[in-house]
Every structure is written in structure tokens, then in C-alpha cells.
A and B are shown apart, each in its own frame.
Chain A
Amino acid sequence: MIVYGVALLSVCLVLGMLFGEVLGVVLNVEANVGGVGIAMLFLVFASNSDKFKALTEGVSGTGIKFWSAMYIPIVVAMAARQNVAAATEGGLLALSAGVAAVIVSFALVPVLSNIGKGDSPAPDTSEEQEAG
């Protein structure tokens, strides 16, 4: 049944969100801490485990694949509901802060991607200097 896969996906999301919310309360933060990421881990474990085969293989699996394939259209809808007008009205300060943060973060991607590959501690120190 296709709905089994959809239900598994839903349960993963709800459980992940609950964990994220609890984590937020424990850490005294007004936000859901990693709920979606935790939900993704649940789904990864479920889809890699034999116990959940009935929910992830065959027709049931297509219930999850459908939503995975709907991802890009949903992201397009998400883009269409962003507050772009407010971003353009923030003036030079908001523009500079946003642009600078993105450029520096982009530049750090290749630096940090090397961690674990050559396990050299070098990228670590440069990152800390950046932070200080």
C-alpha cells in the first residue's frame, strides 16, 4: 500500500520535530533544534534496515519517492513566497551583511571539505582565526 510509505515518512517527520522541540526546551532556545535533520536520520535508518522492508520496498516505497520528487516544485513554491521585497528594502547595511556572509561562507566550503579526507588539522586552525 502506497500510504504505508507516506505514513512512515510522516511518522519520521513528527518524531524528528518532537525531538527537535524537546532539544530546544532542554537547551533553552526558542527554536526547533535540528528536527528535520533528526527526522532524516530516522528515515535513513528505516530505509537501511530490514525490519522496515514492508514499509520501504515496492509500492510502499513509491509513496516516499513521490514526495522526494515533489521536492523541487515545493522549493519553487517556497521561493515564490519569500519576502523578497523586504530584502530589497533593507538598504546597504543589510545587503552588505548578507552578501559578505555568503561570500566568506562559500570560500570556506573547500577548506572544511578537506577535513576527514586527509585528516590534517590545518583547516581547523585557519577556521578558528577566522572566528576570533
Chain B
Amino acid sequence: MDIIETVFVRNNLVVAFAVVGVVMWVSYFLADKLTAGRIHGSAIAIALGLLAAYWGGTVSGGSRGVADVTLLGGIGLMGGGMMRDFAIVATAFGVHISELKKAGIAGVISIFAGVIVSFVVGASVAVMFGYTDPTAITTIGAGAVTYIVGPVTGEAIGASDAVITLSVAAGLVKSILVMIGTPLIAKRIGLDNPQSAMVFGGLMGTTSGVAAGLAATDPKLVPYGAMTATFYTGLGCLLGPSVLYFIVSAMF
């Protein structure tokens, strides 16, 4: 047992490649045999990943899903921010400038609309649950933007730890729902071309959610959605503790 652990831990990234490879194979097999290709193999793989993350988090009590399980620590590196961003940027290879220009304005508008709409929705839910303190309302609203904007805003305006934790949870729910929901809803919202993908990325904004959601829908759309989504968190961090907080303070 010790020997296995030593080898697995020492080569954790390589172990991760092998494990993810097996998960991909199983997922594509299931997609093909059970759903006759109706559900994308990558959608199944992502869902399995989330299930594994839930299991990992419950077993280890950590915050990094399956990556907190000793033998699978390499998943943390493989699925971490650095590798994710590296692979996202690589998907831009071969994208035509003309496609980006076509959706340019709609893309920019969607980023602003996305941050504001998610904030308003999150803040309204907080009010409905009985919060009257502008700091708490703003922080929970910011959490509905993304799980990064929530704590950044909360810490800047002095929200309590409990409220910040709630805002992170709201952001996580959003991110996970985008991962799972996007392939299911894609057709109905016209998500099948570069322009709508850019708008989608700007509106949803959660980089992880958009990255996984589009991968499970149509990998060709990934670069367009990812490009706008990466500006979203920055804008949220800019507006959350400033303009949006001032507006909420004036109202409550």
C-alpha cells in the first residue's frame, strides 16, 4: 500500500492524465451505447467529474473536490487554473478575426448586462430571504455574479464570514448549473454559432461554467464564449464593491 501511494503521489500529474483518460473513455462509451450519441460524451465526463468532486469533498472534508484525495492529488494540478487557462488560450488557435468583430459590440454589452443582471437577481433573492443589511445584500448579489466576485466584494465592504461563505456557495451553484445546464438548453437559446457563444460567455461569466458548458455543447464554440467570460469576473470585482454597493446602500 505504501509503495502504491509513493508512486502515485510522486507521479501525481501523470496519474491524473491516466485517470481522466479512463473517465473520458467510459463517458464516450456510455454516450454512444446508452444515449445513442444524444448526450455528448464530454457532458457525461463533466457530470462524472462533478460527482467525483462531491464524493472527494465529503470524504476528505477539503475544498478541492477529488484533488484532496491523496492518490488523486494530480487532478488538482491538471484541472487547476494554470492548465485550464493554457488550454483555453490554445482553443483560440485558428479563430478568425472577422468572427470576433461580428459579435464585438454584443459581446461587450453582454458582459455588462451579465454582471448587472446576476447581481440584481442574487440581491433580490437575499432581500426575499429577509436580509436588510446592504453589506450582506451586496455580497450575496456579488456571489451570484461569480464565486470570486462574492468574497472579493464581501471582504472589501466588510461583510461577515457567514455571508461571504453563502456568496461563494451561490457562485458555485451557478457555475455547476451552467456546466450541466448548457448542453440541455443550448438549442432553445440559439447557442449554435460564434456570435451567440460570445454573448453566452459574457452573460454567464463563470469561466469554469462556460468552459465546461460549451465543451459539452460544441467544442468549436469554446474560444468565443471563453473570450468574453474572462472579462466578466474582472468587471464584477470592479462594480461589486463600488457602484453596485453604493446603489444598494442608497436603497436600504
Contact = CB atoms under 8 A, between A and B. Distances in A.
A116 to B, nearest CB: 5
B5 to A, nearest CB: 19
Contact of A65 (B20, B93, B97, B129): B93
A12 B54 contact: no
Contacts of B248: none
A20 B234 contact: yes
Report the interface size class on chain B: 35 or more
A30 B239 CA distance: 12
A91 B173 CA distance: 10
B106 A115 contact: yes
Interface in B185-224: 185, 189-191, 195-196, 199-200, 202-204, 207-208, 211-212, 215, 219, 222-223
A81 B78 CA distance: 10
Interface string B113-154: 110111011101110110000000000110111001000100
B173 A99 contact: yes
B87 A74 contact: yes
A116 B195 contact: yes
A40 B88 contact: yes
Nearest to A70: B87
B21 A73 contact: yes
B178 to A, nearest CB: 6
A37 B230 contact: yes
Given A16-B89, A40-B227, A105-B114, A71 B219 contact: yes
27 contacts: A20-B234, A40-B95, A43-B89, A44-B100, A47-B95, A65-B90, A70-B87, A70-B90, A72-B215, A73-B21, A75-B215, A77-B78, A78-B49, A79-B53, A80-B50, A84-B57, A89-B169, A94-B170, A96-B128, A97-B141, A100-B124, A104-B118, A110-B196, A116-B106, A117-B195, A130-B117, A130-B120
- Which 5 A-B pairs give the minimum distances between C-beta atoms? A90-B169, A98-B173, A77-B79, A85-B57, A33-B234
Interface of A: 9-10, 12-13, 16-17, 20, 23-24, 27, 29-37, 39-41, 43-45, 47-48, 56, 61, 64-68, 70-102, 104-110, 112-113, 115-117, 124, 127, 130-131
